[in-house]
Structure 1
Amino acid sequence: MNWLCIAALNLALCIATGAFAAHGLKARLSAEHMAWWQTAVSYHTTHALGLLVVGLLLRFSPALSPTLPTPGLQTSALLLQVGIVIFAGSLYAMALGAPRWFGAITPIGGLAFIAGWLWLAWAVSR
């Protein structure tokens, strides 16, 4: 997969969702819903930047370290992307009116984030 492209698309989406909240949702959402949205944007941005770093490692690792395990980096990238979709996605959805119980899946995205970073640590430590 082209993780650099996916990271760039995620980062564009971060800017769009942040701007959408600031200009289109601020007057329509409660303080609690706005906080959910901002948390989603923050975690989305942080992990999209992480995905960019993993994508760069995948692109340039043969030149930097031929022994860096590509499958480990791919798994890390996939877990970060899954975390973005589940964690940030569930918070975006709840902020826009999804039932509150929908937040029960948010921690699954958080676990995917943790697993992605741990997988990256394992991959680069080998």
Structure 2
Amino acid sequence: MNKKILILAAIFGILSVVLGAFAAHGLKALITTQALQTFETGVRYQMYHALLLLFVGNSAFVSEKSKKAIFYLILLGILFFSGSIYGLATNELSGFNFKSIGFITPIGGLLLIVSWIILLINFLKIKGDNS
């Protein structure tokens, strides 16, 4: 599972940098400043969770069952949250109305929050005097 988590972390990290550069250089002239800021929010959250996956994939403090759950929660959470934000921010450039699927943005956010809660629960279960 650790290898899958680390691979997803690397993919999300790479895509964050690529999409951030694309937004700064390619989209800047095509969308409003507000839409660009919205797009950058999706990039930022994607990178935050790429870093979280790097940590989870290398942590001995997270159970295998929890690692699997966190992997899928973050995968779906980023697809729903950041993916829908990318679509909404560039809505004027496409033939598809991303506002019709905007309801998945908060669902994605909720999945990301649940992944952090699972991480917290694993930390609370750590035995010993590691405080």
TM-score normalised according to structure 2 size = 0.83
Paired residue secondary structure (1:27): coil
C-alpha distance in 1, partners of 2:123/2:76?
A: 20
Q: Deviations over 1:6-47 (max 9, x none)?
A: 101110000000000111000001122112101101111111
Number of equivalenced pairs: 118
Task: Give me the identity figure in percent.
Answer: 37
**8 Å contact from structure 1 (residues 51, 81) kept in 2:** no
Higher helix share: 1
**8 Å contact from structure 1 (residues 79, 116) kept in 2:** yes
Q: Give 1:21's aligned residue.
A: 23
Q: 1:46 aligns with which of 29, 45, 48?
A: 48
C-alpha distance in 2, partners of 1:99/1:87?
A: 12
Q: Give 2:10's aligned residue.
A: 8
The unaligned stretches of length 5 or more in structure 1 are none
Q: Give 1:107's aligned residue.
A: 106
Deviation at 1:53, TM superposition (A): 0.8
Letter matched to residue 6 of structure 1: L
- Alignment pair present for 1:75 and 2:69: yes
The unaligned stretches of length 5 or more in structure 2 are 92-96, 126-131
